[in-house]
Amino acid sequence: MRFKLCVAMLSLVLLSSSSAFGAVITDAVKLAGNATAINLVEGGLADGVDAYTDRNHVLVDIPAPLIGSDLVQVSNSDKTSSPYEVSITTNLGLIYVGLDDRLTSQPLSWMNDSAYTGLPDGFLSTGTQIGIDEGNNGSVDQTFTLWAALAGPGTYTLGKQDDGGSRNNYIILGSRTLIPEPSSVTILALGLMGLISLIRRR
């Protein structure tokens, strides 16, 4: 038990550091869908970067601690694809999924299904938002709430945006930076989640 606790604490130390441990997301593959392929931009998250591979929608109001995170640009046209899946391969870090705030039901059902995603536990809301400028003209047209999940080295599956309406597809980020600030309840919850996951797996 002491070993498991040490491993969990070490994981949190690594997650709280933005030093050179390499990319969090090392590969991203679209497993199903009917539109444009996806694109992984390692360390490329910044204001003004395209959110999608098939739309002139750019990300704005990125929280400063997340600048330089890994970004998976998905196809916005795939939001209505059925089925639609993305496989992501990660090192130790956090996976963030940004959900369009027009979605009335959050999180999406697969985000709490560890048997489906392969993640140790589900996603928790950070309460933090980023914006999308749909015309790249300096306006914020939509906001997305970021949900976070702890991920160890491995390959995981993200599912479709099952809203059934015309909404922006979700956004995928990889980071070792925890938001909001490390003193928040969200960070404590993620730490406990990581510890419980380690205990379950061993």
What does each of the 202 residues of the chain score in pLDDT, given as a tens digit?
Answer: 333 333 444 455 455 554 456 899 999 999 988 878 899 999 999 999 999 999 999 999 999 999 999 999 999 888 878 788 999 999 999 999 999 999 888 999 999 999 999 999 899 999 999 999 998 899 999 999 999 999 999 999 999 887 666 688 899 999 998 887 554 455 555 555 555 555 555 5
3-state DSSP assignment of residue 123: coil
Residue 156 CA: distances (Å) to CA of 71, 78, 109, 131, 145: 15, 19, 15, 26, 21
Q: Are 120 and 150 in contact (CB under 8 A)?
A: yes
Its pTM surpasses 0.85:
no
Q: Are 119 and 135 in contact (CB under 8 A)?
A: no
